[in-house]
């Protein structure tokens, strides 16, 4: 098929965006085991956690222990979220080589999520970007609520483009646009890339779709047609944002990989091993696996094991 990228970078955000919203306690050892299972599956970008206030997001406490505990696979990046310089310094001390700052396209969401206005958040990120440059740390930028806000409703694509362009100008190497509440549809997604693409090169943009309304995979396909080739997703469709009520999990990685494999698009990730990682973390959390392809392929893998002749 022409017009589609030949290769897609999948950014696995399960250990961060996934686990930050889960109610069941997950130990540091289990968070480390998840990251290791994901790198074993071939993911080369694994968001390992965040250095935010543990009062705000208790699930992400001890991310320093996660970062220092994982078996780093050569060629794999382990970005972590930082909301301010204090978070950046803690991340650096724990050996982070890549961080992500996170802004929003909606004022009320910015206030609820990080307790400041959009402009104040960008002011806070400026020293982070400066320090990161000095330390040789790569910085990714997020913009939330790009296709709707839980507090203000509609968000104008121009507003998304303005925030994304500022993050780029400040030195972020890539801007991930988050449909935080998973409300957007493919037509809106295409319009968004069209507008934002005028200010940020498309090869520096990524799609981050939550699946609240079942549109995430369709939004990815629409984005592929617009030349976007980096997508964030979480195994087993884990997660959501604690400050976006009603928002369910991320796009499930297994479903994304199944779509991309079907289109002949290379990701370098083993779907089979991603399915195993998704099944494992679902069992740890004691909740159903949110990945449809994960469930279907998991059943087939179990069937194949059962049919295998004994030793």
CB of 251 to Mg ion, least distance (A): 10
| Binder of residue 248, out of Mg ion, ligand HMG, none (CB less than 5 to 8 A by kind) | none
Q: In whole angstroms, what is the distance from residue 120 CA to residue 103 CA?
A: 10
Task: Find the length of the chain.
Answer: 311
Give the separation between CA 288 and CA 307, rounded to whole angstroms: 25
Residue 153: partners with Cβ closer than 8 Å, 6 or more residues away: none
Here the tokens at position 30 are 């289990």
Contact (Cβ atoms closer than 8 angstroms) between residue 254 and residue 271: yes
Return phi, psi of residue 144, to 5°. Answer: -95, 165
Judge whether 149 counts as a catalytic residue: no
Interface contacts to ligand HMG, rule CB under 6 A: 17, 20, 50-53, 55-57, 81, 83-84, 86-87, 102, 113-115, 142, 144, 178, 180, 208, 210, 241, 243
Number of residues that bind Mg ion (CB under 5 A): 1
Which C-beta is closer to ligand HMG: that of 15 or that of 178?
178
Distances (CA, A) of 193 to 187, 201, 205, 212, 305: 10, 10, 9, 20, 44
Six-digit token string for 263:
């289109």
CB of 210 to Mg ion, least distance (A): 6
Under rule CB under 5 A, residue 17 binds Mg ion: yes
Min dist CB 284 to ligand HMG, Å, is: 21
Cα–Cα distance, 61 to 240 (Å, whole number): 17
249 binds, among Mg ion, ligand HMG, none (CB under 5 to 8 A by kind): none
Closest residue to ligand HMG using C-beta atoms:
178
Q: How far is the CB of 301 from ligand HMG (least distance, A)?
A: 30
With contacts defined by CB under 5 A, name the span among 17-25, 46-54, 55-63, 95-103 that binds Mg ion: 17-25
Which among Mg ion, ligand HMG, none contacts residue 86 (Cβ within 5 to 8 A by kind)? Answer: ligand HMG
Known catalytic residues are 241
């Amino acid at each position: 098929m022409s017009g589609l990228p030949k290769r897609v970078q999948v950014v696995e955000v399960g250990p961060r965006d996934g686990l930050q919203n889960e109610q069941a306690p997950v130990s540091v050892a289990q968070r480390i085991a998840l990251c290791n299972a994901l790198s074993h599956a071939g993911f080369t970008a694994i968001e390992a956690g965040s250095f935010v206030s543990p009062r705000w997001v208790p699930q992400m406490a001890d991310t320093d222990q996660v970062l220092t505990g994982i078996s780093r696979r050569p060629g794999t990046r382990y970005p972590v979220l930082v909301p301010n310089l204090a978070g950046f310094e803690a991340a650096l001390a724990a050996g982070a080589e890549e961080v992500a700052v996170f802004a929003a396209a909606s004022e009320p969401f910015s206030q609820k999520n990080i307790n400041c206005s959009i402009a104040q958040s960008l002011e806070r990120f400026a020293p982070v970007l400066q320090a990161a440059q000095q330390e040789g740390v790569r910085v990714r930028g997020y913009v939330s609520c790009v296709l709707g806000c839980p507090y203000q409703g509609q968000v104008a694509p121009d507003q998304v483009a303005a925030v994304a362009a500022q993050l780029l100008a400040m030195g972020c190497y890539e801007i991930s646009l988050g449909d935080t509440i998973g409300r957007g549809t493919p037509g809106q997604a295409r319009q968004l890339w069209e507008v934002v693409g005028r200010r940020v090169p498309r090869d520096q943009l990524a799609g981050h779709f939550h699946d609240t309304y079942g549109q995430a995979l369709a939004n990815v396909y629409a984005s592929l047609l617009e030349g976007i080739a980096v997508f964030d997703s979480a195994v087993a469709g884990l997660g959501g944002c604690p400050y976006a009520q009603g928002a369910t999990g991320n796009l499930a990685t297994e479903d994304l990989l199944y779509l991309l494999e079907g289109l002949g698009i290379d990701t370098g990730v083993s779907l089979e091993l991603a399915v195993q990682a998704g099944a494992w973390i679902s069992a740890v959390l004691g909740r159903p696996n949110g990945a449809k392809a994960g469930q279907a392929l998991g059943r087939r893998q179990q069937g194949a094991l059962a049919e295998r002749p004994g030793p």
